[in-house]
Structure 1
Amino acid sequence: MKQLLKFQPILKDKIWGGEKLISLLNKKSNRKDIGESWEISDVEGDTSVVVNGKLSGKDLKQLILEFKSDLVGHKVYQHFGEKFPILIKFIDAKDALSIQLHPNDDLAKKRHNSFGKTEMWYVMQADKKANLIVGFQKEITSTEYLEHLKNKTLLDVLNVDEVNKGDVYFIPSGRVHAIGAGVLLAEIQQTSNITYRIYDWDRPNPDGTFRELHTEEAIDAIDYSAQNSYKSVYSKEENTPSEIVSCPYFTTNVLPIKGKISINHNNKDSFVIYMCVEGSVTFHYDNQTEKLEMGETILVPACIKAIEIFSEEKSELLEVYIK
């Protein structure tokens, strides 16, 4: 298992998708409505396949079966077994996504035999006045919520933030949210594809039909509370990982890089994922070299503890693992 792992991106057409994943992140497709690039996935039917080194052609399920805790870490393997617990994406919203939320672990297990879905967003690029919907402006009741839904006035009670590059939002299960038009972001989430869509802007599919709404399922899954601010506050220090989000499902650090740094993961009992969100870097390990451009992702197995990362230009990585 002494190999840094790169995977073939899994590209997803979306009614709201655009061309930034191709034009800015260099994904390969002739389609014009690519909304998501699944970078590392163990979702059923969408398992990532290795594209580099001696393990090229093997998928993530095969790797966990073969290497177990060497790949994911002892604690992670004990807890999750042969299911990779994190789904890594880049998302391009040419148009707004539906207003939605995700159930917690208990509801998702009971209803869908799935993990719940807690996630986070890191804004990589945003057009002028582009926004994200996150949470309610003030606490409301389920009755008030249904009244606003019926009257198509849901936006009157939702929190809408204009966003810029580097903004971070943590979205625990139950929190209502939507990515607005013109936002390109990195998403880190639990391995789950369960979404409760509550409003879709009355937007028809190309064939004139409408996407399913999940009004009934959502009522007892929504967190109706409110916060003063939903944006995560964090600091950056060159060549040093700085924590931006930490929860039971994942921890994410931001790592601005210029020059060469040595990193040791002896204090982690987990795989470590790096997403390049700016510039480009080169990873060195045991005579292996892997270059990572903006919009690419690499997985460092748990058994690899010491790596070097080099960048000639100002670059930035997200570092993701499980505590």
Structure 2
Amino acid sequence: MDTPLYPLVFKPILQDRIWGGTKLRTELGKENLPTETTGESWELSAVEGNVSIVANGSFAGEPLTALLERYPQEILGRDVFSRFGRQFPLLFKFLDARQDLSIQVHPNDELARKRHNSFGKTEMWYVMQADKGARIIVGFKQKSGPEQYLEHLKNKDLIKILNEVQVNKGDVFFLETGTIHAIGAGIMIAEIQQTSDITYRIYDWDRVDASGKSRELHVDLALDAMNYNTTDTQKSYDSEKNSSNIMVDCPYFTTGFLPLEGKVEVHKEGRSFTVYIGTEGAFTVKADGQEHNFKKGDTVLMPAALKDFSLEGNASLLEVYIR
């Protein structure tokens, strides 16, 4: 069946955050930052209230959700459509942490459905840039429990029992739901996650906004959402040229690292959409006789109906799909 679909990019949804900065502009070329504390660029989203708008081609100006109403299986793929209906199941972001993010945790599917009628929030991070000495907080140093955790939280020394990891560009972390975590200052990441905006904020470093107000905490909600065991979150991966080297493979998404040098022919089966995130360089997608040019900082949705296409250029890409 002929389809009018093509590689889609969307207008970035730029979000001010108390911990944000300006790297989305200086590192990724996101212009018109609303503030000098812009912490997030939502690149591809179907979250209610933050639905992505097409930025290129004949569908420019149309919301992602409207396209999914018209072309659900053609965009999502037959397997994804049968599993999720017309819901787009993933959320793609870039984050710029000028300051530490809050220490937080995300609920699993069961808890999120029960409490918020939402998906849970399994996610992964790809470190796009990191200042020297930058670190993340991820998981407990040793097996813990609610009582020990609450005691340290009350004494404002929670960090003593949490695992801090220094990070470098290219590092990958996979965070299953329930993992206590925080992105540290000086880090810019690409985040791939389930379509969910549910975060339980546990500790926010006692900071206040310009009005002198603290952000809301969710200590009680986090208690039974948390995994108190130690976790192995950092993932190693290969860097074979012109190949999608698997970094994370989970029920919610599969992500590969694709170092592109020259040309790669891609053949898909129409089971899932594919998303390419440009992390370095520039690349061209050739599909249905048309050329589409992209660069670092672009997030490209390849509808499932585009089964045969090529990638050309010198670039580093993240390739994301659902098995």
TM-score (norm 2): 0.97
1:295 aligns with 2:301: no
For 1:170-196, what per-residue CA distance to the aligned partner results, in whole angstroms no more than 9, with x for missing partners?
Answer: 011100010000001100000000000
Q: Unaligned stretches of 5+ in structure 1? A: none
Partner SS, residue 69 of structure 2 = helix
Deviation at 1:287, TM superposition (A): 2.3
What is the total number of aligned residue pairs between the two structures?
319
Indicate which of 40, 47, 51 corresponds to 1:47: 51
> Corresponding residue for 2:318?
318
SS in 2 for 1:54: helix
Structure 2 distance, partners of 1:232, 1:45, is 33
AA at the equivalent of 1:155:
I
Runs of 5+ unmatched residues, structure 2:
none
Q: Deviations over 1:192-249 (max 9, x none)?
A: 000000000001111000000001000000000003x431111110100010001111
> What's the offset of the Cα at 1:152?
0.9
- Of 133, 144, 147, the residue aligned with 1:143 is 147
**Structure 1 ranges of 4+ moved more than 2 A:** none
CA distance in 2, matches of 1:84, 1:250: 12
Deviations along 1:107-161, whole A, 9 cap, x unmatched?
1011111100000000011000001111111111111111111011111111100
CA distance in 2 between partners of 1:281 and 1:93 (Å):
27
Which of 254, 277, 280 is 1:278 aligned to? 280
**Which of these residues, 20, 25, 28, is aligned with residue 25 of structure 1?**
28
Amino acid at match of 1:271: F
Tell me which amino acid in the other structure corresponds to 1:294: K
* Aligned counterpart, 1:129: 133
* Structure 2 partner of 1:183: 187
**Paired amino acid for 1:91:** L
Q: CA deviation at 1:58?
A: 1.3
DSSP 3-state at the match of 1:21: helix
1:19 aligned partner, one-letter code = T
Sequence identity percentage: 50
1:1-323 to structure 2, matched below 5 A, reads: 1=3, 2-30=5-33, 31-227=35-231, 229-266=232-269, 269-311=271-313, 313=314, 315-323=315-323
- Tell me, in whole angstroms, the C-alpha distance in 1 between the residues paired with 2:193 and 2:165: 21
Q: Deviations over 1:76-113 (max 9, x none)?
A: 11111121000000000000100001000011011111
